[in-house]
């Protein structure tokens, strides 16, 4: 069991990485497509490759941390200690192409964006997958919601800070170069990220049971026989397409199409902060009283019903309304994965007696990041459509691509499909009943998954 202080600093260690990842998701298309004038297709390809990179990284380092052994530092800590500083350095590199390239070198800018975003995602996976895999080993099911609540606070603050940071880039960034104020902001985010890991690495020691006969292919076979886990992967993969496209499109949409000024950007950031905070509270209550699945479906329905309005919105008022509903939905999306993966890992350990937290945290990176990579390519294609649309926020501006109209309805289709899939997924397991079942049963602990059927029953 963790103390209150330990729950606090373990959960809040996600603050710095959440700021970085959310800001990259929000700012990558804005920075390279809208500000640096990299083509939509090349921007999409660079972002897609970064998703492939994090997929490989999470799968690799999650499973390595399950099997790695260090007498002094254990299984998870060495990856965190090496990965965190590298993540800070690569985050800075993403926004400083002017230090290495000459202005107007489009091909060089494409390669630079592809390499730096991919390196950051590799370092993120190296750090955060072992770190998150630590959670079911450090916590019991009854204390997991309180730990997750601190992680949700960190994610909420990270999303808000990342949003303000992206808005600051939209307001201050020039076509080439990086103002000192933005450089200082990025360095501050890096410092927050590094400091956040100090207390967990120094003070937390408990780890899960080792896997005596590791087999990656057998682990895959075991989890793929769990229908709920597979259903969750399908649903989250579909959600990730719509959410990733929304995250990439929001700032170009309000920067290029609605032409927000400084005042509108500040209103946007404050509005998003308020909406996400309020709905985090609503979702916490709903999870407790209605369960995780129904809560997630409700949150996703909010965003799915709002996104098609990008086809008709032409002013700031409409943009603010869209942001309110979409922000409420995104708040729900970010609330769930940590609890869900920890629940699946804990359920597996009850059944098998072996700790596969790293596998359950990392394996979903294959379908999820694969789908996000698809969404980035799709985004690039959508925003490469003919430039025949007038800019409502500035009638004198050049025409823009039809992608500014179509990204919302297309994103909503994937989110609606995910809502339908979730009707077949159990996200609220009864651990006490499961423990009683396997403690009282004469059936031996599942060997290579043979004693466990697809729905987790004997």
DSSP assignments along 12-37, one per residue: HTTHHHHHHHHHHHHHHHIIIIIIS-
**Average pLDDT for residues 199-204, to the nearest whole number?**
84
**Average pLDDT for residues 287-314, to the nearest whole number?**
90
Q: What region does 353 belong to: left with phi over 0, alpha with psi -120 to 50, or beta?
A: left
Q: Which residue has the higher pLDDT, 360 or 60?
A: 60
State the chain's mean pLDDT as an integer: 83
Cα–Cα distance, 79 to 130 (Å, whole number):
7
pLDDT beyond 90 at 33: yes
pLDDT in tens, 106-137: 999 999 999 999 999 999 999 988 888 777 67
Q: Which residue has the higher pLDDT, 48 or 138?
A: 48
C-beta neighbour count of 324 within 10 angstroms: 18
Banded pLDDT at 4 (limits 50, 70, 90): confident
- The reported pLDDT for the residue numbered 449 is 39
**Listed range (122-131, 244-253, 350-359, 381-390) with the worst mean pLDDT:** 350-359
Banded pLDDT at 448 (limits 50, 70, 90): very low
- The reported pLDDT for the residue numbered 178 is 82
Domains, the chain, ranges and CATH?
4-202+215-440 (1.20.1250.20)
- The reported pLDDT for the residue numbered 446 is 44
**Listed range (41-50, 139-148, 335-344, 436-445) with the worst mean pLDDT:** 436-445
- The reported pLDDT for the residue numbered 15 is 93
Q: Under DSSP, is residue 394 helix (H, G, I), strand (E, B) or coil?
A: coil
**Listed range (7-16, 75-84, 235-244, 343-352) with the worst mean pLDDT:** 343-352
Banded pLDDT at 191 (limits 50, 70, 90): very high
Q: Which residue has the higher pLDDT, 457 or 221?
A: 221
Contacts of 184 (CB under 8 A, 6+ apart): none
- The reported pLDDT for the residue numbered 215 is 62
Cα–Cα distance, 427 to 450 (Å, whole number):
23
pLDDT in tens, 394-404: 878 889 999 99
Cα 122 vs. chain centroid, distance in angstroms? 14
- The reported pLDDT for the residue numbered 185 is 93
**CB-based contact 196:84 (threshold 8 Å):** no
**0.85 exceeded by pTM:** no
- The reported pLDDT for the residue numbered 60 is 82
């Amino acid at each position: 069991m963790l103390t209150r202080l330990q729950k606090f600093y373990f959960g809040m260690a996600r603050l710095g990485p959440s700021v970085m990842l959310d800001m990259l998701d929000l700012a990558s298309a804005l920075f390279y497509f809208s500000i640096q004038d990299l083509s939509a297709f090349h921007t999409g390809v660079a972002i897609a490759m970064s998703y492939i990179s994090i997929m490989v990284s999470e799968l690799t380092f999650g499973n390595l941390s399950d099997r790695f052994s260090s007498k002094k530092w254990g299984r998870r800590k060495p990856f965190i200690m090496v990965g965190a500083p590298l993540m800070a350095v690569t985050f800075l590199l993403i926004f400083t192409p002017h230090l290495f390239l000459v202005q107007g070198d489009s091909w060089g800018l494409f390669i630079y964006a592809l390499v730096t975003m991919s390196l950051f995602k590799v370092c993120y996976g190296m750090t955060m997958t072992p770190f998150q895999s630590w959670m079911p080993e450090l916590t019991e099911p009854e204390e997991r919601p309180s730990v997750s609540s601190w992680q949700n606070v960190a994610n909420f603050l990270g999303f808000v800070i990342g949003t303000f940071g992206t808005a600051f880039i939209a307001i201050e960034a020039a076509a080439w170069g990086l103002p000192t104020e933005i450089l200082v902001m990025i360095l501050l985010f890096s410092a927050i990220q590094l400091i956040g890991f100090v207390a967990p690495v120094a003070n937390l020691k408990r780890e899960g049971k080792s896997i005596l006969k590791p087999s990656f292919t057998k682990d895959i076979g075991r989890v793929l026989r769990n229908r709920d886990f597979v259903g969750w992967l399908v649903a989250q993969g579909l959600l990730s397409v719509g959410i990733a496209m929304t995250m990439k499109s929001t700032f170009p949409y309000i920067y290029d199409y609605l032409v927000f000024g400084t005042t509108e950007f500040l209103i946007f950031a404050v509005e998003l902060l308020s909406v996400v905070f309020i709905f985090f509270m609503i979702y916490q209550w709903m999870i407790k009283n209605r369960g995780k699945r129904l809560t997630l479906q409700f949150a996703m329905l909010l965003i799915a019903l709002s996104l098609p309005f990008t086809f008709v919105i032409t002013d700031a008022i409409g943009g603010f309304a869209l942001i309110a509903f979409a922000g409420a939905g995104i708040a729900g999306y970010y609330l769930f994965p940590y609890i869900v993966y920890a629940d699946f890992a804990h359920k597996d350990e009850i059944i098998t007696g072996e700790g596969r937290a790293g596998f359950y945290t990392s394996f979903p990176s294959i379908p999820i990041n694969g789908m996000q990579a698809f969404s980035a390519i799709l985004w690039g294609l959508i925003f490469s459509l003919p430039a025949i649309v007038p800019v409502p926020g500035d009638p004198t501006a050049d025409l823009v691509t039809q992608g500014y109209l179509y990204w919302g309805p297309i994103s909503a289709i994937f989110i609606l499909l995910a809502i339908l899939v979730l009707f077949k997924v159990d996200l609220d397991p009864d651990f006490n009943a499961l423990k009683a079942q396997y403690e009282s049963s004469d059936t031996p602990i599942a060997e290579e998954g043979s004693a466990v059927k697809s729905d987790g029953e004997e």
